[in-house]
Chain A
Amino acid sequence: MLIDMNRIDVTYGKKLGVVPALKQVSLQVNEGEFLTIMGKSGCGKSTLLNVLGTIREPDGGTYFFDGKDVLQMKDSEKARFRNQNIGFVVQHFALLGERTIYDNIALPLHYMRIGNREIRVRVDRLLEKMELTDKKHKYPYELSGGQCQRTAIARALVTNPKLLLADEPTGALDEETGRNVMKLLQEINKNGTTIIMVTHDSDFAKLGSRSVTMQDGMFTG
């Protein structure tokens, strides 16, 4: 089992009132799964992704990733863990506007502290795979939405992570481009990468190997 998460609680706010975002959430995900999470806005889907991605510290519960107790890790260990094991794809791509496509994809590798030659090989391979080779020196604002999302996916995959967390990856794209992105994600999943994707689109949710629904900070089905 890749992810074993039990009784996770997350609350927001302190002085002006506490809002529970996740209530005793438990989630188990096997390696190679493509899990889709559906639910209305504010139901806690993104908070769950934040906890899974070690961006947000839960208030209670346990979280084991590939047998490792993630919540016991220090900040620097979590950063290394995130860098080596988790890739993120978000709705609005999260690309750095002042850096080229090449530099955006290479960013996680700099935190891995690997040599420039190795970085070049890995990034070029992904650029080719994502059909972005001719765009490597361009900036995000010069690319279409689909190309930006492919860049974001390339950046998420450049460290060969075990888990890909996708938060509404098709949300900012037109239907056809969205479908292409979903095909790409399915292909990535077939190659062995576990994917957890949050989506509003029930058609895309069906493309996963398992689908769950959230409501008021809990899984309902």
Chain B
Amino acid sequence: MIAATQGHRLMALLSVRDLSVAFETRDGLVRAVNDVTFSLDAGKVLALLGESGSGKSVTLRAILGLHPAVRTRVSGEVLLKGRDVNRLDEAARERLRGGVVSMVFQEPMTALDPVYTIGEQIVETLVQHRGLDRRGASRRARELLDLVQVPSPERCLASYPHEISGGMRQRAMIAIALACDPELLLADEPTTALDVTVQAQILWLLRDLQQRLGLAVIFVTHDLGVAAEIADAAAVMYAGRIVEQAPIRDLFRRPAHPYTEGLMQATVRRGQKGRALVPIPGAPPNLIALPAGCAFAPRCPRAYDACLATLPSFHPVAAGHAARCHLVA
């Protein structure tokens, strides 16, 4: 499933090795993603969990090669079906996008084009990427809306994005993402902007589609609850690094990294009334001046000298479960 430190296996659909992304800004070099390594097999769901600024969305965009070359430094390998995304020319990357990998964004209102109907946008995708004629593409567009369970597909096809509800827009965006039968779906907080009753529907839909179509999914989220609903495994990110990787049940039962543990304790759950919450003190570090040791050490209740001095490497906790923490060693 997820190979943490053991290196990537040959047959993985996606294999990311030592991925680093840094942005040049006026204030200095922002080290958004640092030496991220993970792999994902076909048909599996990985949650990239983290708070704002942890590097989860930047990682996701790097998989598609979406970061503009200007003032961005990308290093490391992103092997998608054995081919390094960072070494392909733009034309070859364009073929990967849509056909092999596609993306669903948090805000469907900004990701969809406001001046075209939903139908036109799906048809356009099919004509461009699949070379279908307009009639064939229209028929397929209708099928796709059925697939994402839009109740009245004809009306949705004829609607502009602003004319339909947030949940419907998100379904339409998923339909576009699925238009070219991708093997890997990258989902960037696709339910965060939605109401909780609608979030439940979209999560359920994504899980259903994932299983029926055998999709591999990377699901970026800040929400532990969402990860618990959808993922087979999770990678927890902090200050641009993966600090823990585990099968999802292991992560919830035996969080090994103090940050993961802190996050679980800080999350308000049902039936917690009357008990004080246990927050993580302090705030995440500045990505321009990352500390030498473990980036979480200044907030960690169990940090000792070594944590401040040297960066911990991954230590195995159980099968497929590893944490970047000196305490685990």
Chains A and B form a bound pair: no
